[in-house]
A and B are shown apart, each in its own frame.
Chain A
Amino acid sequence: MPAPIRLRELIRTIRTARTQAEEREMIQKECAAIRSSFREEDNTYRCRNVAKLLYMHMLGYPAHFGQLECLKLIASQKFTDKRIGYLGAMLLLDERQDVHLLMTNCIKNDLNHSTQYVQGLALCTLGCMGSSEMCRDLAGEVEKLLKTSNSYLRKKAALCAVHVIRKVPELMEMFLPATKNLLSEKNHGVLHTSVVLLTEMCERSPDMLSHFRKNEKLVPQLVRILKNLIMSGYSPEHDVSGISDPFLQVRILRLLRILGKSDDDSSEAMNDILAQVATNTETSKNVGNAILYETVLTIMDIKSESGLRVLAINILGRFLLNNDKNIRYVALTSLLKTVQTDHNAVQRHRSTIVDCLKDLDVSIKRRAMELSFALVNGNNIRGMMKELLYFLDSCDPEFKADCASGVFLAAEKYAPSKRWHIDTIMRVLTTAGSYVRDDSVPNLIQLITNSVEMHAYTVQRLYKALLDDISQQPLVQVASWCIGEYGDLLVSGQCEEEEPIQVTEDEVLDVLEGLLVSNLSTPVTRGYSLTAIMKLSTRFSGVNRIKKVVSIYGSSIDVELQQRAVEYNALFKKYDHMRPALLERMPIMEKTATNGPTEIVQTNGETEPSVVEPKHLPPVTQPANQANDLLDLLGGNDVVPVIQTTMPTKPASAGGELLDLLGDLSLSGGPATAPASSVPTSQPSFLLDGLSSQPLFNDIAAAAIPPMTAYNKNGLKIDFTFERANPNPNVAVITIHASNSTEADMTEFVFQAAVPKTFQLQLLSPSSNVVPALNQGTVTQVIRVLNPQKLRMRIKLTYTLKGSPVQDLAEVNNFPAQSWQ
């Protein structure tokens, strides 16, 4: 059998293939040759064949039949074989294959080999892909090598130990003695890997952390090493652009961060060196900035004195002005992390941050936008909003939705006047109208309703906007609703804020009817405009045109429109006496300041068929005493006192029917689950239920969202309770309650949550990070989620139980439907 072709020749041949098919053919041919060569147990060429297989594997072809051959190569005496064998093992084998366990013995032998390069191969392979079982078996060998004086092996053993600890945390203890004099090494490789090992140990175990702080006095040692690096002259071996061993400097700074966190003594001991690094590091190249970046992160995380913190933020401010966009990006990300804690210091750099909105780089723009929103406050709202609106106009579509939501949130919190607020909303709707999230429509309507003195101004501006452009659905929906509600103000020309326009009732109806027939209007928009037209029947003088429109749509193909039209028709024909009351002005909706269960304020018994956005209304629960309201409704306009919604007398499922008022008005009969006890039976039941349900927007029954258990495993139980944040109903406030039914406390408890990208999540500080044993107490933490539609969440829990760290990931999908409606 001729010798198998050489690796380089194979590569050359394969590269001459002109099509994928040709390449596949060559590969298959060669694989066949290799397979038969393997079958013949050819020792001489095994190495060459495996190397070729690895090449073909990189091209994407299967190579699993070479796995055992790698093992044979590893077991060979030749260094060349071992080299390729270990490489093949790292590329083709992983801990999922049973085969890899066969490597354990080979590795053990090679760890004790007489040639350090063979030992090195074994350490490298174990450190890259050793499974937990392998690590358990070989930890002793690694520990031995950690104590050798051969620096080439010692550095590799250190990283191997890191891998062992990552795989089998319980083995951490056994490496402790070997770490005693690691930092007195001169060799930078050993120093670097030792710092990595110490970092890993300190991060994983608080006991280790305090041991290293107090007993080993790690901080002074690290400070000394760092100082030498900075002060020592040029060292050719470790120099990078004039800085001595930046990799080691960065690692030391990181370890100092961990040691100094929440510890006054350690933080004080490192104050000077941090200031020294911060002021003396050369910033002309990326290396220097990398060190400064790490220094800033350390300063912000430890208990540094305020002067140092200001120094750190100023460094970030200087980064923002750097020509290098990587540096600017990193600065924005870091400032975003510190804006909560050092708000005033970050505010000083506001104008630079706002300038970054105009940056060409997409990632930078996004960070600048997030940071800008975080910096908005009552003082700078006008100026900031100008910049943000300008940004909204000119930014890429991928930003517009988030930016619009951010603008609404900021405007709601800090609007200096109602007029400004409405103008801002108008600006967003007209410039980015199609990117605005659907759920902002009801929010805006609520806002407009509550700004009583601005009604005329608002409806006029919206009307003018409609004349220009009817393509942006959220704008059209809000405008239709307003015209339906305040059309009388529009035609009577009552606007005080600006020059009132002259418009006739017919012109208004032209516009609304235009929306109905336009191809640009979505079905939802059509629903809005039909309802608006109907409402105008009580506000305008002439109803005949409206009657005609309504009857035409009684035979519309769109079922929703048809249903509405038929019912409105019924309203004209049989129930004309109810019409004025039904279509009266919407009452003002009070927004409560707290996040507690919301209260409805009903100024009178007036109701309105809330068909406008049925999908946004949570299931309604009916207080028992609303039967009386019904009688008032048909009579006078008495003010009804504030009613708590926490007394449901109807099952929640009835809420659906209560919502769908028109469903209730259907002539076939009333809702199935209406208890008749609170209702005088002489009234037609459907009308009763519909009217008394009074489902005003989304201020209802926040307390009716039931709590849920999100996680319950190994004694740790996490419950979620919900509130809807007022004034912004777009924000769901979830409180987690973590309880522990095991016998020991769970310490270092950290709860992390992630949500899909369409939401925004804010996690506030937890009440504590110890979950007491035997359910003696709970840890609570508040999560705020923006735009919670169909909420899903991934949670990560880490805690230490009886000395060992535990980590778990879970997905939470069982959010009750009410939490996101």
Chain B
Amino acid sequence: MMRFLLLFSRQGKLRLQKWFTPMTEREKKKITRDMTTMVLSRQPRSCNFLHWKDLKIIYKRYASLYFCLAIDNQENELIALEVIQRYVELLDKYFGNVCELDIIFNFEKAYFILDEFLIGGEIQETSKQMVNRSIEASDMLQEGDSSEWFEVELFG
């Protein structure tokens, strides 16, 4: 399973944190510090995998944001890279040419999208369109439209 996902800027400012196992605030802060230090000090053309404690850390930079995903030791690193890529594509579709500012000002949306893609450290939906449709429908709900209409459309 995936253990945590962190997004941070080149200056080390945290933009999103998703933890899939219970941790104290102190532990989370320490891990975040460790990750930002480790990842930001990597040479530009190194491979995207690191070892940290008993986990594998997969990281990739997209424009000004670093995506840092921790997986169990027996997980497949290469597919983890695809997971990060998929999440970025989902954000891109939703925000339209997503950039760091979108994630800063709409962090709660970034979380909602993530929660339609992953649950409990595992992928719940492999179709980009399905995820996007669920988010759009939820957004509509938020605007107070009648819920039954959209449920019928998205069933099955």
Contacts and interface: CB of A to CB of B under 8 A. Distances in A.
Interface string A342-383: 000000000000000000111110000000000000000000
Contact of B112 (A7, A83, A237): A83
A247 B119 contact: no
Contact of A123 (B119, B147, B151): B119
A246 B79 contact: yes
Contacts of B104: 11, 15
B56 to A, nearest CB: 10
A95 B21 CA distance: 10
A82 B137 CA distance: 15
A79 interface: yes
B147 A115 contact: yes
Interface string B44-70: 011111110010000000000000000
B82 A240 contact: yes
B119 A124 contact: yes
Interface string B126-141: 1111100010011001
B151 A116 contact: yes
Interface in A61-85: 79-80, 83-84
B24 interface: yes
Nearest to B80: A290
B122 A8 contact: no
Given A84-B108, A87-B108, A326-B81, A188 B45 contact: no
Contacts of A95: 22
Interface stretch (A51-59, A265-273, A397-405): A51-59
Contacts of A116: 151, 154
A38 B122 CA distance: 35
B47 A287 contact: no
A183 to B, nearest CB: 15
Interface residues of A, number: 75
Interface string B16-57: 110010111000010000000000000101111111001000
Contacts of A193: 122-124
A151 B156 contact: yes
A58 B79 contact: no
Interface residues of B, number: 54
A361 B47 CA distance: 7
Contacts of A290: 76, 78-79, 81-82
B142 A286 contact: no
B137 A117 contact: yes
Given A115-B141, A248-B126, A326-B81, A152 B134 contact: yes
Nearest to B48: A326
Given A127-B120, A246-B79, A363 B47 contact: yes
A361 B45 contact: yes
B77 A117 contact: no
A245 B129 CA distance: 13
Contacts of B79: 246-247, 250, 290-291, 294
Contacts of B147: 79, 114-115, 117
Interface string A141-178: 00000000011100110011011001000000000000
B126 A287 contact: no
A160 B78 contact: no
B107 interface: yes
Taking each of B49, B50, B124, B125, which has the highest tally of chain A beta carbons within 10 Å of its own beta carbon? B124
B126 to A, nearest CB: 5
Contact of B108 (A51, A166, A328): A51
B45 to A, nearest CB: 7
A114 B141 CA distance: 13
A325 interface: yes
A329 interface: yes
Nearest to A117: B138
Contacts of B128: 237
Given A117-B137, A127-B120, A247 B49 contact: no
Given A117-B137, A325-B46, A363-B46, A287 B82 contact: yes
B105 A8 contact: yes
Contacts of A156: 119, 124
B99 interface: no
B155 A150 contact: yes
Contact of B105 (A11, A127, A240, A361): A11
B15 interface: yes
B107 A192 contact: no
A120 to B, nearest CB: 8
B124 A326 contact: no
Contacts of B51: 363
B26 to A, nearest CB: 11
A116 B154 CA distance: 10
A94 B23 contact: yes
Contacts of A635: none
A289 interface: yes
Given A95-B22, A128-B20, A361-B47, A196 B127 contact: no
Contacts of B127: 188-189, 237-238
Given A124-B119, A129-B22, A363-B49, A189 B125 contact: yes
Nearest to A86: B115
B14 interface: yes
Given A96-B22, A117-B137, A237-B127, A326 B78 contact: yes
B125 A155 contact: yes
A247 B123 contact: yes
A654 interface: no
B95 interface: no
B93 to A, nearest CB: 13
B119 A58 contact: no
The 8 closest A-B CB pairs, nearest first, are A290-B78, A189-B125, A159-B119, A325-B47, A127-B120, A290-B79, A163-B120, A94-B22
29 contacts: A7-B108, A55-B107, A58-B14, A58-B16, A79-B141, A83-B138, A87-B108, A87-B112, A116-B151, A117-B141, A131-B22, A188-B127, A189-B126, A189-B127, A192-B124, A246-B79, A246-B82, A247-B83, A247-B126, A254-B76, A286-B81, A287-B82, A326-B49, A326-B78, A330-B77, A361-B45, A362-B46, A363-B46, A754-B54
Given A120-B134, A238-B127, A325-B47, 14 more contacts: A11-B105, A58-B17, A58-B107, A79-B141, A117-B147, A155-B125, A156-B119, A159-B122, A162-B120, A189-B126, A289-B78, A293-B76, A326-B81, A329-B49
Interface of B: 14-17, 20, 22-24, 29, 43, 45-51, 54, 76-79, 81-83, 86, 104-105, 107-108, 111-112, 115, 119-120, 122-130, 134, 137-138, 141-142, 147, 151, 154-156
